Amino acid sequence: MKRTGVFICHCGINIAGTVDVKKVAKELSNHTGVVHSEEYIYMCSDPGQNLIIEAIKENQLDSVVVACCSPTLHETTFRNTVKSAGINPFQCEIANIREQCSWVHKDMEKATEKAIKLTKSAVERVHRNESLDPISIPVTRRALVVGGGIAGIQSALDLANSGYEVILVERSPSIGGHMIQLSETFPTLDCSQCILTPKMVEVSKHPKIKLLTYSEIQDISGYVGNFKVKILKKPTYVDPDKCTLCDECTKVCPVVVPNEFDLGLTGRRAVYMPFPQAIPATYTLDIKSCPGLLPIACGKCADVCEPEAIDYDMKPEIVEEEVGAIIVATGFDLYDKELMAEYGHGKYADVLDGLQFERLCSASGPTTGKILRPSDHKEPKEVVFIQCVGSRDPELHCAYCSKICCMYTAKHAMLYKHHVPDGQAYIFYIDIRSGGKGYEEFVQRAVEEDGALYLRGKVSKIFEDKGKIKVWGVDTLSGKDIEIDADMVVLATAMRPSEGAEELAKKLKIALDKDGFLSEAHPKLRPVESVTPGMFLAGAAQAPKDIPEAVAQASGAAAKAIAILSQERLFHAPTVAKVNVNLCTGCGMCVHVCPYDSLSLKDGKAEVNEVLCEGCGTCSATCLRAAIEVKNLTPLQVNEMIGASLGG
Amino acid sequence: MDPNTYIPKLAKITHIKEEVGGARPIKTFRTQFFENNNFSFKCGQCAMLSVFGKGESMISISSTPLIKDYLQFSILKMGRVTSSLHEKQVEDIIGIRGPYGNGFPVEKWKRKNLIFIGGGIGLAPIWSVLNTALGKREDYGDLTLIYGARTSKDLVFKEELEELRKKMTVHLSVDVEEPDWKEFVGFVPQNVLDKKPSPKNAIAVTCGPPIMIKFVIKALEDLGFKDEQIYTTVENKMKCGVGKCGKCNIGIHYVCQDGPVYSWAELKKLPQEY
Amino acid sequence: MAEEFEPKIVAFLCKWCSSAGSDLAGVSRMEYPYNVVPITVMCSGSISPLYILSAFSRGADGVLVSGCHPGDCHYIKGNFYARRRIALINKLLDFIGLEPQRFQMSWVSAAEGTKYTEIIKDFVKELKPLGPQTKLGRDL
Amino acid sequence: MQKVLTKKSLPQWVKKLLSYTIYTPVEEDDHWNFVATDNPEDINLDYPLTTLSPKKIIFPQREIFLEFCDSTEGNPEVKEVLPAEKSAVIFGVRPCDAKALTFTDKVFGGDFKDIYYWKRRNQTTLVGISCNTPPYTNCFCVSVNGSPYSKEGLDILLTDLGDKYFVETYTKKGEKLLNLAKGLFKSPTAKDKKDLEKIRIDSKKKIKRQIKNIKKIPPKLKEMFDSPFWDEESMSCLRCGICTYLCPTCHCFDINDEITSSSPIKGKRIRTWDTCQFPDFTMHSSGHNPRPDKASRLRQRILHKFLYFVDRYQNYQCTGCGRCISLCPVGIDLLEVLDKVRDYGS
Amino acid sequence: MVSLEDLKKEAKQILKENKVKYIIGYKKSTNGLMPVPAFIKEPEEVEKLVWDPTCVFNLTRYLVDEKRRKTKEKEPDERPVGLVVKGCDSRAINILLQEKFINREDVYLLGVSCENTGVLDEKKLTKKIKGEKVKKVEFDEKDNFIITTQEGKTKIPAKEILANRCLECKANFPVIYDVLLGEKAKRSIDNPFESIEKIESLSTEERWTFWKKQLDKCIRCYACRSVCPMCYCDECVADTISFAVTADTTAEEKAQKIKWVEKSPVSSENFIYHMVRAIHLAGRCIDCGECERACPLDIPLRFLNRKLEKEAKELFGFEAGFDPDQPSLISCFKDEDPEDFIR
């Protein structure tokens, strides 16, 4: 029988005000296996902790229960306390008699009774706890960054500049993400491309960064510190080393498809360079739109390519990499226009989304910086901007706020006015959210200096009529119906997790939130970590955010990754599953349910990879033979806790 | 009315000694009854020890009936009951009922040479006879103990064994070589063959793991011992202790009552179900 | 007057959502009946039907199982397995004639202190008229 | 004492016995069972064979030996729990089941009397009913020194003579029961006695199943301990407890502590039936099992009944009720096994 | 029509060719109506084999014994065991394969189709023929059985004497086999869960009364789990003793065996035992009905398993034992699994 000490914290009056701590101490002193029981005003204080240490030494305690606040707060504290007294930290358990008892009940007698049960339950558990040592694992000191937008670029550079090798994987032919499509950025209105391209070049030139564009994560295995990643490098059919960027190929290519970079406002050829500043600076043959490689149906590009850079035989390549940490920065996509039919997006040429408008404003865009209607290339004189398109609409679309639309719409109105000084910008809004350094001032500038007309209300109908886009709505402040004959409508559509993020999250075993964004481990305290150890989140993949936030989070994620990579070995919680091979029949049901692939069958018996196991215990509940259990929360322990919780 | 044989009497643990540590620990307990201590038994008999809430376990009494003050049990930690016995401390209270079984026919052995051959925890039942013989030293001839365990750490009654050397011949052994071990290295049956006790006017009492007993008997037969000269104890699962529950049944015998002590001659007649 | 029956409830809460949610109820000082004694487990997926049977066998008047909302599981999918398992034991308990009110399952997130409070209040309210659970309680 | 009792008077007699707990065979979902009743009309003596023999009343499947409470303070409290003092009558006991009790009497007697058994045994009066026609397809009492009207173990034996019962008492306990309703019992006429004789002769003839030359079996068994025969015969055995739990003569049990609270430790020491057919029956806590397989367990059952018990108590530990045959889920036929034993090697 | 001669021929063939170690089939009993398991090792013994609607046992259960024997053998005979399987039994094979308890090459399956009929319920038949010895059981293809006794032939409607499970059977022919005897006859069952629905329609208290009466009868002879081909665990969670013990097993491990169920056959423990068994058979029970048949006290155990079979079907679209490659019921899930019971 163990020699357990029980320590009951008053937490000032937080506990002692509702729970008769003296009675708890007395009751517990009579419990089988408890050799010491006392209460104290603040157990977590230095004197409180010393009291525990003294009692351990005096009574040769081998296990400790502290009845106090939630284990999320002081479990670590007290485990360290008992450790300093020479006891294994896993011989300390917390009974939460504050959040679960004193703070939610008023009747002292009843609360005391419950506190006794809670404490006895913890005693029963600790009686059967094993002494455990953290599991030590070596670290592969390289990182993987998925996504080559601003967040991915920032993370990669921070990691590389700290001296760690980085593999940066981008699915499209060039890095740059959505930021490279923007014309100017709020609130400073500096040129987006001008501030991003130096970083992109830095990435391409950085000796520590291995850039894999036109590549996707195919498979991932392993665990924190030791991930094995399989990356599918799609064939570009153009050898970048031979290509001289002469652009002859695009001239002969007979195929024209919508240009993704300009969001379909222009076309591109099947062989193309995404945009002039693309990194890597090379061409890509888009096999989906090419008339066909095998058998070669066209071959014109190869014919004109003098350096013979076009290689139709190029094959997909699987690159295998080992990394210690992973940063996921898969960014966002705009809400599908198909789903926004009520705004006429996709139906009327002059109804644009925010990104398309950015391209219209951009000097590198389809109109070389002139704002012209896609339909007739006329300068629009009246432009309606509509905010919250698809956002904040729990009934029909996304419940959340896409966060950046208020600001970029203000920016759009401003840019429009700068381009078309005699034009009028109308902005339909629900309310304006301009939290952020210089943001509110920026919106005010749009109103005051650039005369943007803010209309509080929703748009009820948009339709084309005689070359105009008619926008009907209501100004809820004045209560008046509004009808605008606009030349152009710009929709601030909702941000969605980028396409394929869900599939990737499944591969990475990162949880998604209800909107499909990647879930952080804790909304406040662990905002850049995923629930899977060693995987971190950056940028809009986690939630809608603007550039400075994305960059900040990217640096945060890099710092978190460095915290892993900077160590030679990592330590993993030892409360993992263990198999009783005598009972295991090798049915494999546990293997099937393990979310971390930590179980496998070996010689007809289940085997735990302790490093992968997170100790969730789903295997244990699945096993029909009680052949697998999680250390220190075994069925026996739970069963005894049930008994104690019911007062027997 | 007949006494209720299933009700244990309460006894206090007065003394605990850790004999063997490690993964297969052995502790020796001494107990005293609460009310009158007159518990007469024969050496080789067993008692049913109770830990309330855990159950009962049949344990052989390792003290000699010549000592009336206490009962002694040496217990290997093995299952539910023995594990909780190992957690007990001095002053803790357990239940005891018995004694059960036939015991060694020590009266018949007077003036004979006695050879005790034990392995591991098997010394416990032997200890009772051995000390009885020592207590009435003049009644018996030569006394020899051949005892072994896996390692020197696994030997029980280590200090007592040293004392014993002054009074009788003691041959110890360990299964595998270890530094500072000056005596026999090898299994107990080999030690028996090595020491060649004489069968003349002798009784051999052997107790230990079943496999050891098997080979000890073979060794003794090789040395010329007759079946009637060899005694051993049988250890079957027991619940009632009084020949009713059927668990320890072998042939027409109930080990708890008709055993546990058998001469090899008797045991040979029983089915091999122990 | 006879003392009012006070049901004994065992609540199996997953550590990451439901236990955190019930802690939040505490932090927010939301009052609820004391009848519930929580047992925090790592994941609702680790709750074996045997735990539920054991609780009833040891005299629980009600048993609550609570985990993260689907999709929110700290362990990605543990609560989906739990949902299946618990559905089956729920049906079985009902089939053998245990009052359906005695066994409940809920999704409570770390932010849903209020929901936890409501669940416990309602649970106690539903259990009171039923009186003590004697059907599966161990009577040795 | 010999009497006759008209069938109509049976309830009247029972009415006089209401201070006793009265058991009678009752049909429940296709099978018969002894159930306590306080309604004299419930007594039913025209029934086949109960699934469980009246052993379950004298030696119940669960018996509380003692209650204990052990807290960290003070001495453990141990309280002996004895069966309630209440006399009982079991109506309709089949002669084979009554005879079985004479075997358990031997086991639970001896140097250490089992007071739980004897308390129930002594306070229970057994009223038997002769088997004028075999109540069960697998009856073979005659082969094991029994008969359909055996009086062994019974206090009273009733024999159905059509409209009345022929009543014989063998013990004081039995006579006492008659004396409680003296007026209902008449002295038997010569015809009654003649009818009785005839019925008895007929009833023996009606028993179809039998073991020929049973005397040859024990010596044969003695030689067959190591025979591969047991492996063959046990192939289909499932290691369930039906044959032994339903056997009126089987008496093996287990004792366990069952607790309701672990601090303080409160609980009961409980005896439950156990069977040599369960693998854990003989398993040592070391994991060593002297009877590790189905073959050795089937052998134990047969040898115990037809060799060891015979050696110890000079009787087969079998009364020929046939339950183990009829209810074995895989049709292991004791009589077929014994036939094979007898003819083994010849 | 399944021809017994074909079965014998096939059995003889595989024994002669040494293709199988032995064959588990059915032979005539020396007593009672129902045939008993036969373990046929020699080709000449094949004549003992019988097959008719009285062959009720699910012989797959003996694969558990076979596996235990084999693991003990130093040089095990790797040949398969020949096994006669009906439709329901063959589903058990699929579960054993699914749970990797056996490999496909461990068994040679002599599949026999029940075609449009099923097997008889011994108790129902006994009542009908009142103690007469049955000589022959045939099916006349018109929903009737022809029972031949010494008194002559009797025609009994199938519905009146078929085993309960057969009245609700979905697998009237083997779903996995090496040889198939008989036809893969199509048949329709109006309501496969009719018997369950009767109990479901009772009120909570009526259901409780029903089960209490039934389970209070239990004497814990464990015939239900002994006869079940799915109850192959070395150590049952319902046992209070540690079975799977080796020399390395520590005393603590043995001492800490959880007592989920006490040995006392009292109401509460009986309930827990049978519920644990039911829950452990969820998604695994293939409704061979053996537990119910073996029960000496006629507890309708099949209902417990059948209930969960019904729920698995209705809630999760899951049916056990038709596909050895599908994950088992509780080791998979669907996003759309119902959660209307969850608050």
Mean pLDDT of D318-340: 94
- Report the alpha-carbon distance of residue B200 to residue D68 in Å, rounded: 53
The architecture CATH gives domain A142-234+317-331+498-565: 3-Layer(bba) Sandwich (3.50)
SS3 content of chain E, % helix, strand, coil (to 5): 40, 15, 50
* Per-residue pLDDT at B125 exceeds 90: yes
CB-CB neighbors (< 8 A) of B258 in chain D:
none
Residue D32: closest CA among D48, D50, D44, D52: D50
- CB-nearest to B246 from D114, D115, D251 is D251
B51 occurs within a structural domain: yes
pLDDT for res B37: 67
Same domain, D166 and D234: no
- Report the alpha-carbon distance of residue A494 to residue A397 in Å, rounded: 9
CA B21 to chain centre: 19
- Report the alpha-carbon distance of residue A525 to residue C22 in Å, rounded: 19
Domain count along chain B: 2
Contact E106, E63 (CB under 8 A): yes
Residue E160: closest CA among E146, E144, E173: E144
| Domain range for B17 | 9-100
Counting every residue written for chain D, the total comes to 346
Q: In whole angstroms, how far apart are CA D229 and each of A564, B274, D225, D304, D340?
A: 68, 21, 9, 16, 9
Cross-chain Cβ contact D114/B236 below 8 Å: no
Query: pLDDT band at residue E153, thresholds of 50, 70 and 90?
Result: confident
Amino acid at B162: E
Cross-chain Cβ contact A648/D73 below 8 Å: no
* Per-residue pLDDT at E48 exceeds 70: yes
Residue B154: closest CA among B137, B128, B130, B173: B173
Q: What is the mean pLDDT of chain E?
A: 91
- Report the alpha-carbon distance of residue A617 to residue A590 in Å, rounded: 10
Q: How many CA atoms lie within 13 A of A74 on its CB side?
A: 24
- Report the alpha-carbon distance of residue A15 to residue A42 in Å, rounded: 10
Mean pLDDT of A111-119: 96
Same domain, D179 and D247: no
What was the ipTM of the complex prediction? Answer: 0.93
Query: pLDDT band at residue E192, thresholds of 50, 70 and 90?
Result: confident
- Report which of residues E257 and A160 the model is more confident about: A160
- Report the alpha-carbon distance of residue B148 to residue B172 in Å, rounded: 5
Domain boundary among B66, B83, B100: B100
The torsion angles phi and psi of A444, rounded to 5 degrees, stand at -60, -40
Q: What is the mean pLDDT of chain D?
A: 93
CB-CB neighbors (< 8 A) of D266 in chain A:
648
**């008692």: which residue's tokens?**
B47
Mean pLDDT of D196-209: 93
What are the strands of the beta sheet with B202-207, ordered from one edge?
B184-185, B169-174, B143-149, B113-119, B202-207, B230-233, B261-263
Query: Which chain D residue lies closest to A34 (C-alpha atoms)?
Result: D72
* Per-residue pLDDT at B20 exceeds 90: yes
CA E243 to chain centre: 24
Residue C50: closest CA among C92, C16, C98, C110: C92
pLDDT for res D71: 81
pLDDT by residue (tens digit) across E311-328?
Answer: 999 999 999 999 999 999
pLDDT for res E142: 67
Helix (H, G, I), strand (E, B) or coil at B267: helix
| CATH code, domain carrying B95 | 2.40.30.10
Looking at E188-287, list the stretches that DSSP marks H as alpha helix, in order from N- to C-terminal side.
194-200, 204-215, 223-226, 251-255, 267-280
Same domain, D189 and D238: no
| Domain range for D279 | 214-343
Same domain, B56 and B142: no
Cross-chain Cβ contact A593/C81 below 8 Å: yes
* Per-residue pLDDT at B1 exceeds 80: no
Mean pLDDT of D76-103: 95
Amino acid at D155: D
- Report the alpha-carbon distance of residue A633 to residue C45 in Å, rounded: 13
Interface-testing mutation among D259, D260, D269, with chain C (most C C-beta atoms within 10 A): D260
- Burial, E192: exposed, middle or buried (Cβ in 10 Å; 0-12, 13-18, 19+)? middle
Question: Comparing A4-132 with A142-234+317-331+498-565, is the CATH topology the same?
Answer: no
* Per-residue pLDDT at D150 exceeds 70: yes
- Report the alpha-carbon distance of residue E95 to residue E97 in Å, rounded: 5
pLDDT for res A531: 79
Q: In whole angstroms, how far apart are CA D247 and each of D301, D302, D317?
A: 11, 12, 10
* DSSP category for residue E22: -
Structure tokens at A567: 């160590």
| CATH code, domain carrying B172 | 3.40.50.80
pLDDT by residue (tens digit) across B153-190?
Answer: 999 999 999 999 999 999 999 999 999 999 999 999 99
Mean pLDDT of E298-319: 95
Interface-testing mutation among A518, A618, A631, with chain C (most C C-beta atoms within 10 A): A618
Q: What is the mean pLDDT of chain A?
A: 93
Helix (H, G, I), strand (E, B) or coil at A15: helix
Query: pLDDT band at residue A340, thresholds of 50, 70 and 90?
Result: confident
Provide the shortest C-alpha distance from residue B260 to chain D (in Å): 15
Same domain, B46 and B153: no
pLDDT winner (highest mean) among D205-209, D273-277, E146-150: D273-277
- CB-nearest to D282 from B2, B10, B247 is B247
* pLDDT-above-90 percentage for chain E: 65
* Per-residue pLDDT at C1 exceeds 60: no
* DSSP category for residue A141: -
Same domain, D37 and D8: yes
Domain count along chain D: 2
Q: What is the dihedral of CA A259, A263, A264, A267, to 10 degrees?
A: -20
Provide the shortest C-alpha distance from residue E245 to chain A (in Å): 7
Query: pLDDT band at residue A596, thresholds of 50, 70 and 90?
Result: confident
Provide the shortest C-alpha distance from residue B69 to chain D (in Å): 21
* Per-residue pLDDT at C2 exceeds 70: no
Q: Which domains does chain C have, with CATH numbers?
A: 9-126 (3.40.50)
- Report which of residues A342 and A175 the model is more confident about: A175
Contact A18, B104 (CB under 8 A): no
Amino acid at D247: C
Q: Under the phi-then-psi rule, with left for phi > 0, alpha for psi from -120 to 50, and beta for the rest, what region is B252?
A: alpha
pLDDT by residue (tens digit) across D55-76?
Answer: 999 999 999 999 999 887 778 8
pLDDT for res E143: 80
pLDDT for res A294: 67
SS (H, E, C) A430-479: CCCCCCCCCHHHHHHHHHHCCCCEEEECCEEEEEEECCEEEEEEEECCCC
Same domain, B71 and B85: yes
- Interchain contact C/E (3 or more Cβ pairs less than 8 Å): yes
Amino acid at A344: G
**The CATH number, out of the four listed (3.30.420, 3.40.50, 2.40.160, 3.30.2010), of the domain defined by the range A4-132:** 3.40.50
D65 occurs within a structural domain: no
Mean pLDDT of A511-537: 87
Residue E258: closest CA among A363, D253, A128: A128
Q: How many CB pairs under 8 A join A and E?
A: 55
Domains of chain A, by residue range, sit at 4-132, 142-234+317-331+498-565, 248-304, 337-496, 573-631
Mean pLDDT of D262-270: 91
Residue A271: closest CA among A308, A300, A244: A300
The torsion angles phi and psi of E190, rounded to 5 degrees, stand at -60, -55
SS (H, E, C) E238-261: CCCCCCCCCCCCCHHHHHCCCCCC
Mean pLDDT of B7-16: 94
pLDDT for res D287: 87
Query: Which chain B residue lies closest to D309 (C-alpha atoms)?
Result: B252
Query: pLDDT band at residue E140, thresholds of 50, 70 and 90?
Result: confident
- Report the alpha-carbon distance of residue B91 to residue E19 in Å, rounded: 68
Region A337-496: CATH code: 3.50.50.60
Same domain, D77 and D151: yes
pLDDT for res D229: 95
pLDDT for res B221: 94
B169 occurs within a structural domain: yes
Q: What is the DSSP string of E44-61?
A: GGGGGB--STT----GGG
pLDDT by residue (tens digit) across D22-63?
Answer: 999 999 888 899 999 999 999 999 999 999 999 999 999 999
Cross-chain Cβ contact B6/D253 below 8 Å: no
pLDDT for res D137: 86
Structure tokens at D244: 């032994």
pLDDT for res E30: 85
pLDDT by residue (tens digit) across C70-79?
Answer: 877 888 889 9
A582 touches chain D (CB under 8 A): no
Same domain, B36 and B112: no
B19 occurs within a structural domain: yes
Strand partners, B94: B11
Interface-testing mutation among E331, E333, E334, with chain A (most A C-beta atoms within 10 A): E331
Query: pLDDT band at residue E65, thresholds of 50, 70 and 90?
Result: very high
Cross-chain Cβ contact D262/A648 below 8 Å: yes
pLDDT for res B134: 93
Strand partners, A94: A66
Helix (H, G, I), strand (E, B) or coil at A364: coil
D175 occurs within a structural domain: yes
- Report the alpha-carbon distance of residue C19 to residue C24 in Å, rounded: 9
Same domain, B119 and B153: yes
- Report which of residues A57 and E187 the model is more confident about: A57
The torsion angles phi and psi of D200, rounded to 5 degrees, stand at -65, -45
Same domain, B74 and B184: no
* Per-residue pLDDT at E141 exceeds 80: no
pLDDT for res A291: 83
Q: What is the DSSP string of D118-168?
A: HHHHHTEEEEEE--SS-SSTT--GGGGT--TT--TT-SEEEEE-SSEEEEE
